[in-house]
Amino acid sequence: EKDTLKELVIVVVGEAARADHFSLNGYARETNPLLAKENIINYSNMTSCGTSTAYSVPCMFSRFERKDYNDKKGRTTENILDVFVHTGNISILWRDNNSDSKGVALRVPHENFKDPDNNPVCIEGECRDIGMLSGLDEYIARKKGQDILIVLHQMGNHGPAYYKRYPKEFELFSPVCATNQLEKCSKDEIINTYDNALRYTDFFLSRVISFLKKYDSSRETAMIYMSDHGESLGELGVYLHGLPYIAAPDAQKHIGAFIWLGKKISDEVDIAQVRKKASGSASHDNLFHTLLGLFEVKTKLYDKQKDLLPRRADITPAH
């Protein structure tokens, strides 16, 4: 029996979320209380392509591995969104609450959610990631009969003003560093503020999962979350991110990442293989191939070994 349900996949690009501050990865503080309740596949050993948004974001959507990637290749080679445009039946939407898509979404529909005219959840110039979910139901309703890929680019844990990255009710850890001049704060204050911001990301990501659950019977749903890079919080006197990769500490390269699968795709993947891959090491290199696999797009560029969601051997692709 041919499967006629269309895909609905949301990729969330995180900001400056370092893996060792995720309680999902054993951090002592509860920074992921809501995600801990969800049936997610956690990648505790995921590394980024770069240490800055400008480098990592184009790299993670490119066909190149980190070892082969450079800025020029990123600019002059079609990325995964471009590949999907060529199929003619995948609707793509990029919503951005960060700086911008760094060139990735130049040729696809792009919406700026740092603009209060688009984002209904903005207070004193600070627009919240949760606002990126507004109007998505209507968008999906207009795309009946089409596969859909939505990318949500978070403000996340963007420093140095971590204190601006969450509403007051998420201030669980205190005292906080209520300035963007980190040198005026103690290490504990900086970490408290950063961890509060991570809890807001936990809230946002759990809401993305709840959003997708509504479509469990009408679409094949999945969510992929990967931060763009990590963050230094004062270890050895280093703050923020952006050090040359070879010199950068793990804190800037070891990133939070997980995948959530709706029922349909859960049934189609080889879950034992998926869990095995999740317990090993992974990186931004895997995103390109995982998305090709999810949307069952046939191309010579696809490398099954790099697909984090291998299908069961007895499943024949629907398309």
CATH number at residue 201: 3.40.720.10
Question: Per-residue pLDDT tens for 64-113?
Answer: 999 999 999 999 999 999 999 999 999 999 999 999 999 999 999 999 99
- Residues 6 or more apart in contact with residue 68 via CB below 8 angstroms: none
1 within domain boundaries: no
Question: Per-residue pLDDT tens for 296-309?
Answer: 999 999 999 999 99
22 within domain boundaries: yes
- Residues 6 or more apart in contact with residue 98 via CB below 8 angstroms: 13, 15, 53, 114, 153, 154, 155, 156, 158
115 within domain boundaries: yes
The predicted pLDDT at position 314 comes to: 74
- Residue 130's domain comprises 6-314
255 within domain boundaries: yes
137 closest CA partner among 218, 211, 76: 211
pTM of the model: 0.97
What would the mean pLDDT of 216-232 be, rounded to a whole number?
98
56 within domain boundaries: yes
In angstroms, the CA 264 to CA 60 distance is: 26
169 within domain boundaries: yes
319 within domain boundaries: no
Number of structural domains (the chain) is 1
**E strand or H helix at 220, and its extent?**
strand 219-227
The predicted pLDDT at position 1 comes to: 39
- Cα 217 to Cα 221, 262, 264, distances in angstroms: 9, 9, 8
241 within domain boundaries: yes
